[in-house]
């Protein structure tokens, strides 16, 4: 299985790794089939993601997907971050092998969970997941 240079770069030197003590929103997702577990932490200021971190237990593609996803959402509004799809994550990584696409889906779901965790803490309604257009 061949990974792009981008995937390897984000796997070997992932960005934004670590726990965030005072996160405003946390999303944890897992895929029992492959054993990947991903936790995304968000720091939110004025509806903008000021910082994002992740802790991922999983394969190289899962770590690379989390790393890229946090890079893509930093500095974006919650609405913009919500629209970051697994395809956008995979494209930013210059492609993922089909068998590893679920890793980018986990990253998308983790972002959604973290945003809704924040919204619920603020007394806002969670944003709705749209049905998959796959």
Q: Where are the domains of the chain?
A: 5-120
User: What confidence score (pLDDT) does residue 107 get?
Assistant: 96
pLDDT of residue 132: 52
pLDDT at residue 1, rounded to an integer: 74
Q: Would you call 59 a catalytic residue per the annotation?
A: no
pLDDT at 16 (0 to 100): 97
Of 17, 34, 48, 59, catalytic = 34
Per-residue confidence (pLDDT) for residue 134, from 0 to 100: 40
Is the pLDDT higher at 130 or at 132?
130
Evaluate whether the domain defined by 5-120 bears CATH number 3.90.1010.10.
yes
Q: Is the pLDDT of residue 15 over 80?
A: yes
Active-site entry in 29, 103, 105, 111: 103
For residue 131, what pLDDT is reported?
57
pLDDT at 128 over 90: no
If pLDDT is split at 50, 70 and 90, which confidence band does 4 have? Answer: very high
Which long-range contacts (C-beta less than 8 Å, at least 24 apart) are formed by 26-32? 26/113, 26/114, 26/117, 27/109, 27/110, 27/111, 27/112, 27/113, 27/114, 27/115, 27/116, 27/117, 28/110, 28/113, 29/106, 29/109, 29/110, 29/113, 30/106, 31/102, 31/106
Burial of 112 (0-12, 13-18, 19+ CB in 10 A): buried
State the average pLDDT for the chain: 94
Q: Residue 2: its pLDDT value, please?
A: 86
Taking residues 48-76, report their average pLDDT. 97
Average pLDDT over residues 106-112: 96
More confident site: 34 or 113: 113
């Amino acid at each position: 299985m061949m990974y792009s240079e981008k995937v390897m770069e984000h796997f070997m030197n992932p960005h934004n790794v670590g726990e965030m003590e005072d996160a405003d929103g946390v999303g944890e997702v897992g895929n029992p089939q492959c054993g990947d577990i991903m936790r995304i932490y968000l720091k939110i200021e004025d509806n903008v993601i000021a910082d994002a971190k992740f802790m991922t237990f999983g394969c190289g593609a899962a770590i690379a997907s989390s790393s890229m996803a946090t890079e893509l959402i930093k500095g974006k509004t919650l609405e913009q971050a919500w629209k970051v799809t697994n395809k956008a994550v995979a494209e930013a990584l210059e492609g993922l092998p089909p068998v590893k696409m679920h890793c980018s889906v986990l990253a998308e779901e983790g972002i959604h969970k973290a945003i809704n965790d924040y919204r619920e803490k603020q007394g806002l309604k969670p944003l709705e997941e749209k049905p998959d257009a796959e």
